[in-house]
A and B are shown apart, each in its own frame.
Chain A
């Protein structure tokens, strides 16, 4: 027991260290068409070493849905909506224009304003003001990019979200949390034993994960604010695969305490363990549907690993996948329309998406060792782990398969991505 306590203390000390190296996102395949947008540098932006329009432009470009149109030659560059001559921008091919200003205030904060104009319909689409400190410039850039993305695509922007992932460097494992663009990486857990399966609570305040530090899989829940963690499940046998219910009060986990890998519900403080199903085979990898009424999971109950859906209230189980001999790792999409998963095809492991209504499967990636798909809160982008040569990397693909991204880390093997919720 004292050993465990010491181990826990060691963890506290290690918590929240800057992670080794930041992920950089590269677009490796684009959408058929992109929205041409001109983002004019904001008034006074040169006053600060880190601007805001660079963040906005980077976010929009990396989404694969936008391309930048230069405003070079438009003199003076407009900073207010009323100064914009849309004809100048139309002539350069822009469908949308962003202008804005950054004004220092007496208390040291900055008034950041921007306006988004539709150059084709000649209407103003958005105009927003933010009073922020310099430390909030990056976050403000992401917020502005979210507004522009939503107005021009009709989907929620996810530039202000965070991602969690696991890095492995030599024998050192870290659970890292970063901004969705790879910025601000922070190691929140470090260990010399493997870490896996990070899962965000629905409000983003906690992360559940699995650690092998005590020579067996044990599930922990850690607070993002304090870095403190507690054991969620450490029963005899293996404890793994945490998945939060949408209400954030309970999780589904896989426990082997009663024999075999079976699904259980457990309160977020580790109390109230309740068995969900009884099967002779493997039941694991739970993922709640967004209404909280059902759980997708993988099971070999039918002979080969396939994905099933459990309706919690009735206990009814329905098989969801039929093609192929290996379909695992379901992750329910937030729009409630289907799920992403891993399919083995020949010897290749691929990311695919299935629609509940049509049962249609679309394979989104080409392998060879793609795994751990996690879908963004807008249901439009999937982040997953891939193998590039000898290294593990993260990659992104849009849910229609058209946009492909690669998230490159300078040093470590990267794996087990988990997309965080929208900020509240």
Chain B
């Protein structure tokens, strides 16, 4: 919590220094391939600190991916859902690029944090499903660690079957609800 406050203060101070450079990074349209674009470059060379005009990334010099990328629909980072098979908690191959992209974002922005929220379908015991959702969130976390994110950046929690996105009692709803959501801090 304290770290966040410090980061926010730092940003406020820097934003004050370069108040003419507040143009949001997504306007540049350069954020589709995150690793190739540093925050400093897209905001018109404000500083070399990696702090972009659109938000706090707190990245090391030159290494940041702008947080605007998280909201850019053309960027893989805007995708946040990892789906699972029934009773399963292994991340399927098709979601590897998505998990990797978020991990690389965390690697490039060491002060960035995510919460991984595990969910299950409605079948099975409530508390056991909390544990099952947790295991899914942990599986995504473990893959992120392999791709360069650090332990301190990721909190895994579970809603079990308590917060279904779809309320139906059919396979379509169940498939939607067997899911881990990647939530970046501040969202």
Contact = CB atoms under 8 A, between A and B. Distances in A.
Nearest to A236: B155
Most buried by A among B115, B125, B135, B163: B125
A190 B158 CA distance: 21
A372 B128 CA distance: 11
Contacts of B100: none
A196 B155 contact: no
Given A216-B157, A260-B138, A284 B130 contact: yes
A419 interface: no
A241 B129 CA distance: 11
A285 B160 CA distance: 13
Given A237-B156, A238-B158, A256 B127 contact: no
Interface in B134-149: 134-135, 138
Nearest to A305: B128
A348 to B, nearest CB: 10
Interface string B157-176: 11110110000010000000
B135 A260 contact: yes
A217 B135 contact: no
Contact of A197 (B117, B127, B131): B127
A298 B138 contact: no
Contact of B128 (A237, A285, A390): A285
A371 B126 contact: yes
B128 A282 contact: yes
A241 B158 CA distance: 13
A242 to B, nearest CB: 10
Most buried by A among B117, B124, B126: B126
A284 B128 contact: yes
Interface of A: 1, 193-194, 196-197, 210, 212, 215-217, 236-238, 240-241, 254, 256, 259-261, 281-282, 284-285, 298, 305, 326, 328-329, 342, 344, 347, 349, 369, 371-372, 390, 415-416
A217 B125 contact: no
Interface residues of B, number: 25
Contact of A261 (B122, B124, B134, B159): B134
A257 to B, nearest CB: 10
B17 interface: no
Interface string B100-127: 0000000000000001010000111111
Given A237-B155, A237-B156, A349 B131 contact: no
Contacts of A415: 126
B132 interface: yes
A17 to B, nearest CB: 22
B112 to A, nearest CB: 17
Contacts of B126: 196-197, 371-372, 415-416
Contacts of B123: 347, 349, 369
B138 A372 contact: no
A6 to B, nearest CB: 16
A216 to B, nearest CB: 4
Contact of B134 (A215, A237, A342): A237
A259 B139 CA distance: 11
Contacts of A349: 123-125
A149 B162 CA distance: 39
Given A285-B125, A371-B125, A371-B126, A261 B162 contact: no
24 contacts: A194-B159, A194-B163, A196-B127, A196-B162, A197-B126, A197-B127, A215-B117, A216-B157, A217-B157, A217-B160, A237-B134, A237-B156, A237-B157, A238-B156, A238-B157, A240-B130, A240-B131, A256-B134, A282-B134, A284-B131, A298-B128, A369-B122, A372-B125, A416-B126
A332 to B, nearest CB: 15
A412 to B, nearest CB: 15
B6 interface: no
A254 B159 contact: no
A285 B162 contact: no
Nearest to B169: A390
B85 to A, nearest CB: 15
B1 interface: yes
Most buried by B among A236, A238, A241, A326: A238
Contacts of A371: 124-126
B162 to A, nearest CB: 4
A381 B169 CA distance: 29
Nearest to B157: A216
A390 B162 CA distance: 16
A216 B163 CA distance: 11
Contact of B127 (A215, A216, A254, A259): A254
Contacts of A305: 128
